[in-house]
Amino acid sequence: MPIRSLLASPLALSVLLALVAVCAVSAGSVSVAPSDTLAIITAKLAGRVPAVDPAVTDIIWSLRVPRVLLAMTAGAGLALAGVVMQASVQNPLAEPFILGIASGASVGATLAILIGSAAIPFGVPGCAFVGAILATLAVLMLAGMHRRISTVKLVLAGAAISALCVAATNFIVYMAADAEGMQSAAFWTMGSLADAKWHSLFLPVLIVSTLIVYFLSQLRTLDVLLLGEELAVTLGIDASAKRRLYMGLLALLTGVLVATCGIIGFVGLVVPHLVRSFTGASHRRLLPAALLVGAIFLVVADLLARTLLPAGDLPIGIITALIGAPLFMKLLFGSGGNFGGSR
């Protein structure tokens, strides 16, 4: 089977994701044999006590499995947001943070960290989520909440709100006197999966799974939006209404992920372009492959983030940028500026 066909196959990508996930769970400061990892996971799922050292079992089941599952969930969710946004605004450079979602979340998280998350309901994640939603609403209002929303206005409004939020975050940090809080805020804004626990998986998994099912039912609409508003009107699709709906859903999705994982860039930008280069632009093939590649990408990035330095974790946003930026430049110059792919 040719490599391009293999990479475009959801079955092949699913097998690759499973292999990468097992390797990621097994690797770390305490290395565990993949056979022991599988034995622990199988026994836990079957309700039995694993025939492995209890300390190793606790490391695998309580720490690494939730972290890898969160990486898979966040990677798939950010890739989904990137694919849908690029089709909705017909802009190949669109990504989940184009609406200022990440910057809004950063303002909320920075405030919570520096004020003291114990004094605020729902702590840092709650404030980050509120900031993300408020920033998105501001963008939609600027772009024309009750009028036809043009893609140009949407992108420009997102850039303006993002700049304001970045300035607000920098001002808050500049005025703060808490050095430890400033360091925590900086680490959070670069993304981390270190706090992943079983109880923290419920909301991200629920939201990502629900929106994956929904957008898999919207493949034809996404294809039409990608081809332009005139064609959408001809086919009886209200492009502005769909765009508002999709942007609202993406704000919810990205807000939840940012609140859980911090700010993780480049996944929503690079993965859709990478996948489109071997699936073409049809969302029937593009979206399922992008979900799986996004999950693989973030699992690998998180594995590197926690194993490159012996002293501790690197922020995962640094790893995604170091991988994503060169890869995106390769795609950019290798495609001659044609991001659409073939249908």
Look up the CATH number of the domain holding residue 172: 1.10.3470.10
First-to-last CA distance in the chain?
A: 21
Which pLDDT score is estimated for 18?
96
Question: pTM of the predicted model, to two decimals?
Answer: 0.88
In a domain, 300, yes or no: yes
pLDDT digits (tens, 9 = 90+) for 164-183: 998 998 888 777 766 676 77
Q: What is the pLDDT of residue 337?
A: 47
Can you state the percent helix, strand and coil of the chain, rounding each to 5?
75, 0, 25
Quick check: helix, strand or coil at residue 27? coil
* 68, 295 contact by CB (below 8 A): no
Task: Answer yes or no: is 192 within a domain.
Answer: yes
Residue 339 lies in a domain: no
Rounded Cα distance between 342 and 320, Å, is: 27
What would the pLDDT profile of 280-331 be if each residue is shown by its tens digit? Answer: 889 999 999 999 999 999 999 999 999 988 877 888 999 999 988 888 787 6
Assess if residue 256 is contained within a domain: yes
pLDDT value at position 207? Answer: 94
pLDDT at 142: 84
Residue 48 lies in a domain: yes
Size (the chain), residues: 343
Neighbours of 37 (CB within 10 A): 23
Which tokens hold the place of 68? 């890898």
Specify whether the CB–CB gap between 18 and 30 falls below 8 A.
no
Decide if 274 is inside a domain. Answer: yes
pLDDT digits (tens, 9 = 90+) for 268-285: 989 998 898 888 889 999
| pLDDT given for residue 119 in this prediction | 60
39: containing domain: 3-334
Query: 32-42: per-residue pLDDT in tens?
Result: 999 999 999 99
| Alpha-carbon span 185 to 110, nearest angstrom | 5
CB 218 within 8 Å of CB 287: no
Dihedral-angle region of residue 100 (phi above 0 means left; psi in -120 to 50 means alpha; beta otherwise): left
Q: Is residue 342 part of a domain?
A: no
Q: Is residue 341 situated within a structural domain?
A: no
pLDDT of residue 342: 46
Residues in the chain, pLDDT under 70: 1-4, 6-7, 116-122, 145-151, 177-179, 181, 331, 334-343
Overall domain count for the chain: 1
What's the pLDDT at 304?
A: 94
pLDDT at 108: 85
